[in-house]
A and B are shown apart, each in its own frame.
Chain A
Amino acid sequence: MAVATRTDGLPTPRESRKRPGSGFELWSWLFMRISGIVLLFLAVGHVLIMHVMEEGVERVDFNFVAERWGSPFWRTWDWMMLTLALLHGINGVRVVVQDYVRSPGGRIAWNSVFVIVGFALFVLGTIIVFTFDPAAFRM
Chain B
Amino acid sequence: MAKRSAEFGTLYKGSLTGQLSWIAHRVTGVGVLLFLFAHIVDTALVGWGPEAYNKVVGVYHHPIIQILEIGLVGAVIYHALNGIRIMIMDFWPRSVLHHTKLVGATVFLFLASMAPITYIMGRRVLERLF
Contact = CB atoms under 8 A, between A and B. Distances in A.
18 contacts: A1-B7, A14-B14, A16-B11, A16-B13, A40-B80, A43-B80, A51-B73, A52-B117, A56-B120, A58-B128, A65-B46, A69-B46, A85-B36, A89-B29, A89-B33, A96-B26, A124-B44, A125-B40
Interface of A: 1, 14, 16, 19, 33, 36-37, 39-40, 43-44, 47, 51-52, 55-58, 60-63, 65-66, 69, 82, 85-86, 89-90, 92-93, 96, 117-118, 121, 124-125, 127-128, 131-132, 137
Interface of B: 7, 11-14, 26, 29-30, 32-33, 36-37, 40-41, 43-44, 46-47, 49-50, 53-54, 57, 60-61, 66, 69, 72-73, 76-77, 80, 83-84, 87, 90, 117, 120-121, 124, 128
Contacts of A117: 37
- Say whether chain B's binding surface is mostly helix, strand, loop, or mixed: helix
A36 B14 contact: no
Contacts of A66: 46
A16 B46 contact: no
Contact of B13 (A14, A60, A82): A14
A58 B123 CA distance: 13
Nearest to A40: B80
